[in-house]
Structure 1
Amino acid sequence: MSRPTEPVSGRPVVLRGGTLLPMDRERRVLTDTDVLVVDDRIAAVGPQLDVPEGTFEIDAAGGIVMPGMIDTHRHMWQTVMRGYGADWTLTQYFVWYYLEHGTAFRPQDIHAGNLLAAAEALDAGVTTVVDWSHGLQTPDHADAAVDALQSVPGRFVLAYGNIQQAPAEWTGAPEFRDFVRRRITGDDMLGFQLAFDVTGDPAFPERPAFEAARELGVSVTTHAGVWGATNDDGIRLMHEHGFMTPGTVYVHASTLSADSYHRIAATGGSVSVSTESEQSAGQGYPTTWAIRSHDIPVSLSMDTSVWWSGDLFSAMRTTLGADRAREHLEAHAENRTVTHCSLRADQVVEWATRGGARALGREHDLGSVEVGKKADLVLLKNDRSPVSFPLLNPYGHVVFQAQRGDVHTVVVNGTVVKHEHRLLGVDLAAVRHEVEQTVEHLRSVMGEEEWRKGMNPDIPETKVLDNPYTYTDYRSATTHGR
């Protein structure tokens, strides 16, 4: 049989002899297993599969094959400022993006950020990303965001938002509806959500935005349970007005009461946990310890590369660490010893894959390696690394040992988009050029002194920013959690 030496779009692909984590409901581990991809689907799973003539074969022996990872909350437009806010607090983030310099982003800057973030995601084995795009000040910004996403061979969900206007204003604008009509066409590779937050203002000014989501038939993703910004009042208002639905994704949910968790659980919502963000920025202690006890579905996300890593290996690792740290701390306070871990490695791998698919309503075709599902796959294999062996506990290896440099091959919708540690179909030199132009623009608009000051912020005179949303004057001590 003749065998192609390079992956070709449209040709079958087989990953041979890997250790497979199918992420099925039994969370099995299958050794020496092949996965055959035909067109955009997983055609067969098993040992020593017979494959069609001309199939591209990838040696997965010694590696781990798993579903593509799914990030349910990433502000992709901000990736052009990677690492800039390493020493920020959440207050400084709000000031920079919501109140001051966020307005300096032009459509081409949104394009550059999305382009860089999309390439970074694929490189790290994240095959689906929710672009929590709250910098869309105009439809031109939104068009630029979509243009970037559609130029990279990944799977994305545009969560449309605009922090410079009231949600009721931008969702009710004719130009927003025109954008939806033009660009949201049912493409399997581009999903759509609405992204806005609920302040807890008793007047419920966000209601028209929820009504717009209902009219469009799309889900809402919202930052909930964020210290100093959103809390139980917003959840209660959503519930009382009938806007808590099974598709709603509550990001962070770190400072909510048991009452709010009960409402989320009862209405079938899910929580996107961004542990690196919550630990560092201060939304609240990463909340897996609480939502697990309420049986609320969990997905993982990395939030923004202004601070943190753009991969879900870090998300899995920090989530497991934060949950276990809290469990030990509570036990020690009661003079007890934890003898068995409540949260285990296979669970956080599930959250990074099937959990994300569930949050997006795509569990029927994404998030696991099963015949008939979409072929979104990742091979972790690095023969040049001493960390790649021995492979004893594959779930533990993914969580605690693997990193983005171990991502050997990535398949999205049946197409190989990364192979032998090299991205395919992405012009990194062109991406770099766009990003450099945006950085130059931002530095020019701000001035060098202000640019440097932003990376090394002073302690503000007012140390608490209560409610960064400019469309309402509502203030409440309840935004500061329990």
Structure 2
Amino acid sequence: MPQPPAETSNRPVVFRGGTVVTVNARHDVLTDHDVLVVDGDIAAIGPALPVPEGTVEVDASGGVVMPGMIDTHRHLWQTAMRGYGADWTLTQYFVWYYLEWGRVFRPEDVHAGNLLGAVEALDAGVTTTVDWSHGLRTTQHADAAVDALRAVPGRFVLAYGNIQDAPANWTATPEFRDFVSRRTTGDDLLGFQLAFDVTGDPAFPERPAFEVARDLGVPVTTHAGVWGATGDDGIRLMHDHGFMTPETVYVHGASLSADSYHRIAATGGSVSVSTESEQSAGQGYPPTWALRAHGIPVSLSMDTSVWWSGDLFSAMRATLGADRSREHLEAHAKGDTVTHSSLRAQQVVEWATLGGARALGRESRLGSVEVGKAADLVLLKNDRSPVSFPLLNPHGHIAFQAQRADVHTVLVGGRIVKADGELVGIDLAAVRSTVESTVEHLRSRLGEEAWARGMNPDVPTSEVLDNPYTYTDYRSGSTHSG
């Protein structure tokens, strides 16, 4: 299990002589600057700062000091199955988790996935992660999820969900209310959302769950614009019943019409784009081009390690590539040439940091390097790598050159959780043992034949699965006829 932090956790910290990518309103990039952290907050930014006695000094020369990254949609409970579904489509994901095997996950398996995923996030400089936890079949599973998050020294938001039951059912139980009263106490390190999707069924069976969210005063995060599962019908139902708010986070938002984008923009919501997921699984083309056109705020997320990498460097890189590729292809189809990129590296760096803070309503405390904000900071520095120099375009370096191995130091609320490339106080051997127990359980429950078949799916010959949500018989006509 993760161990207590190092003895330096309560001491001031100063990053000396780095290039500071502030992500402030002016997009300032400050060269040869220090960043001083006192009592968990950023106390000063400037060259050659005087510091209190006993300050921990970190040599940031040749490196980049940036805000901690924020992932607004990650299914941490699935991390123990890292890479298992590398060749899946979204349909195969739905079948495996929603219909066939999601019910075999025990509370300890959710705990194992959350523990590994939370540690992985910190290691990659992701200081705040939304745990889109839709595997919480019971409140025992939910307690296990929170226990894992509490054991790791990062910031997390538990987005409580249950794909095995109707949202109206699980949000109405006394056990759920008891969990909320016990485990969501407004701690600065643990936020809370409700996580469920809207099928578009005209009966609007999800309405009671929205009413619970309103009663609790918590945001809803929902997979919207997922081809074959959730689309414009769900957005219209949310809008017509008054459940689209500035706090609502729409995940993917890929296969939506202009009408839905107008509704999201008008009600002030934001979209969490998981570009690697949308490109590979099939939710729709990554929609950053449409979101920019409609003025909709964007944050980034990686979705699930069942397929993809657990860092936001890959997310930034993929997002720039997808947006620019679409722009080029559209121009080519008209016989034109793109001569200037619309989406810039600086914008995706902002989406990976301040964009996430805005989506979570934490912009006043997180997402940028500014005096008075919480000291969630990342130093990118790797003197052992030839890719670390020259540092000419810091935003471009973050988005296109940096990777997990370059995350030298990570602070969360002023607490050092990674130093000189090594996680602080994390017993990886214990985490590995916990995860191996979960993998052993899953293999034994499935049997070797089903385990191998799930990892190596056949080329499908059957119909596409429409609507994985078994609590409703509704079938959308937007993606399937008959």
Which TM-score band applies after superposition, normalised by the shorter structure?
over 0.9
Instruction: Determine helix, strand or coil for the equivalent of 1:177.
Output: helix
User: What value does the CA root-mean-square deviation take over the aligned residues?
Assistant: 1.0
Please show how residues 222-261 of structure 1 align to structure 2 within 5 Å: 222-261=222-261
Please show how residues 64-213 of structure 1 align to structure 2 within 5 Å: 64-213=64-213
Partner of 1:413: 413
Looking at structure 2, the residues matched to 33 and 100 of structure 1 have their Cα atoms a distance apart, in angstroms, of: 54
Looking at structure 1, the residues matched to 40 and 211 of structure 2 have their Cα atoms a distance apart, in angstroms, of: 35
Matched to 2:89, the amino acid is T
1:367-411 alpha-carbon deviations (Å, 9 max, x no partner): 001111000000000000000000000000001100000000000
Partner of 1:427: 427
Looking at structure 2, the residues matched to 26 and 129 of structure 1 have their Cα atoms a distance apart, in angstroms, of: 26
- With over 3 angstroms needed to count, the CA separation of the structure-2 counterparts of 1:247 and 1:39, relative to structure 1, is same
Unaligned runs of 5+ in 2: 1-5
Instruction: Determine helix, strand or coil for the equivalent of 2:294.
Output: coil
Looking at structure 2, the residues matched to 240 and 207 of structure 1 have their Cα atoms a distance apart, in angstroms, of: 11
Instruction: Determine helix, strand or coil for the equivalent of 2:8.
Output: coil
Please show how residues 327-476 of structure 1 align to structure 2 within 5 Å: 327-476=327-476
1:153-177 alpha-carbon deviations (Å, 9 max, x no partner): 0000000000000000000010000
Is it true that 1:25 corresponds to 2:50 in the alignment? no
Equivalent pairs counted in the alignment come to 476
Looking at structure 2, the residues matched to 98 and 118 of structure 1 have their Cα atoms a distance apart, in angstroms, of: 23
Partner of 1:3: none
Cα drift, residue 476 of structure 1: 1.4
Matched to 2:54, the amino acid is G
Looking at structure 2, the residues matched to 461 and 209 of structure 1 have their Cα atoms a distance apart, in angstroms, of: 36
Normalising to structure 2: TM-score of the pair?
0.98
Cα drift, residue 425 of structure 1: 1.8
Matched to 2:35, the amino acid is V
Is it true that 1:310 corresponds to 2:314 in the alignment? no
Cα drift, residue 478 of structure 1: 1.7
Looking at structure 2, the residues matched to 268 and 389 of structure 1 have their Cα atoms a distance apart, in angstroms, of: 40
Looking at structure 1, the residues matched to 209 and 173 of structure 2 have their Cα atoms a distance apart, in angstroms, of: 11
Q: Percent identity?
A: 79
Cα drift, residue 462 of structure 1: 2.2
Looking at structure 1, the residues matched to 203 and 40 of structure 2 have their Cα atoms a distance apart, in angstroms, of: 47
Is it true that 1:290 corresponds to 2:280 in the alignment? no
Is it true that 1:61 corresponds to 2:61 in the alignment? yes
Looking at structure 1, the residues matched to 209 and 414 of structure 2 have their Cα atoms a distance apart, in angstroms, of: 36
Matched to 1:454, the amino acid is G
Contact 1:72 1:299 in 2 (8 A): yes
Looking at structure 1, the residues matched to 216 and 273 of structure 2 have their Cα atoms a distance apart, in angstroms, of: 26
Looking at structure 2, the residues matched to 331 and 461 of structure 1 have their Cα atoms a distance apart, in angstroms, of: 35
Instruction: Determine helix, strand or coil for the equivalent of 2:243.
Output: coil
Cα drift, residue 458 of structure 1: 1.6
Looking at structure 2, the residues matched to 476 and 395 of structure 1 have their Cα atoms a distance apart, in angstroms, of: 42
Looking at structure 1, the residues matched to 150 and 428 of structure 2 have their Cα atoms a distance apart, in angstroms, of: 16
Looking at structure 1, the residues matched to 40 and 477 of structure 2 have their Cα atoms a distance apart, in angstroms, of: 51
Looking at structure 1, the residues matched to 69 and 460 of structure 2 have their Cα atoms a distance apart, in angstroms, of: 39
Looking at structure 2, the residues matched to 429 and 295 of structure 1 have their Cα atoms a distance apart, in angstroms, of: 46
Partner of 1:52: 52
Instruction: Determine helix, strand or coil for the equivalent of 1:172.
Output: coil
Cα drift, residue 42 of structure 1: 0.5
1:301-358 alpha-carbon deviations (Å, 9 max, x no partner): 0000000000000000000000000000000000001010000000000000000000
Cα drift, residue 480 of structure 1: 6.4
Instruction: Determine helix, strand or coil for the equivalent of 1:478.
Output: coil
1:267-292 alpha-carbon deviations (Å, 9 max, x no partner): 00000000000000000000001110
Contact 1:230 1:479 in 2 (8 A): no
Partner of 1:216: 216
Matched to 2:455, the amino acid is M
Looking at structure 1, the residues matched to 45 and 463 of structure 2 have their Cα atoms a distance apart, in angstroms, of: 56
Q: Which sits farther off after the overlay, 375-384 or 472-481?
A: 472-481
Instruction: Determine helix, strand or coil for the equivalent of 2:72.
Output: strand
Please show how residues 2-41 of structure 1 align to structure 2 within 5 Å: 8-41=8-41
Looking at structure 2, the residues matched to 480 and 42 of structure 1 have their Cα atoms a distance apart, in angstroms, of: 53
Cα drift, residue 419 of structure 1: 0.3
Looking at structure 1, the residues matched to 474 and 31 of structure 2 have their Cα atoms a distance apart, in angstroms, of: 57
Is it true that 1:273 corresponds to 2:273 in the alignment? yes
Instruction: Determine helix, strand or coil for the equivalent of 2:408.
Output: strand
Cα drift, residue 461 of structure 1: 3.9
Contact 1:231 1:479 in 2 (8 A): no
1:61-102 alpha-carbon deviations (Å, 9 max, x no partner): 000000000000000000000000000000000000011101
Please list every run of at least 4 consecutive aligned residues from structure 1 whose deviation after the TM superposition is greater than 6 angstroms.
Answer: none
Looking at structure 1, the residues matched to 214 and 462 of structure 2 have their Cα atoms a distance apart, in angstroms, of: 39
Matched to 1:154, the amino acid is G
Contact 1:229 1:480 in 2 (8 A): no
Looking at structure 2, the residues matched to 72 and 426 of structure 1 have their Cα atoms a distance apart, in angstroms, of: 24
Instruction: Determine helix, strand or coil for the equivalent of 2:290.
Output: helix
Looking at structure 2, the residues matched to 53 and 40 of structure 1 have their Cα atoms a distance apart, in angstroms, of: 16
Looking at structure 2, the residues matched to 346 and 263 of structure 1 have their Cα atoms a distance apart, in angstroms, of: 27
Unaligned runs of 5+ in 1: 1-5
Instruction: Determine helix, strand or coil for the equivalent of 1:292.
Output: helix
Contact 1:255 1:283 in 2 (8 A): yes
Looking at structure 2, the residues matched to 476 and 279 of structure 1 have their Cα atoms a distance apart, in angstroms, of: 22
Instruction: Determine helix, strand or coil for the equivalent of 1:156.
Output: strand
Cα drift, residue 460 of structure 1: 3.6
Cα drift, residue 479 of structure 1: 4.8
Instruction: Determine helix, strand or coil for the equivalent of 2:302.
Output: coil
Cα drift, residue 426 of structure 1: 1.2
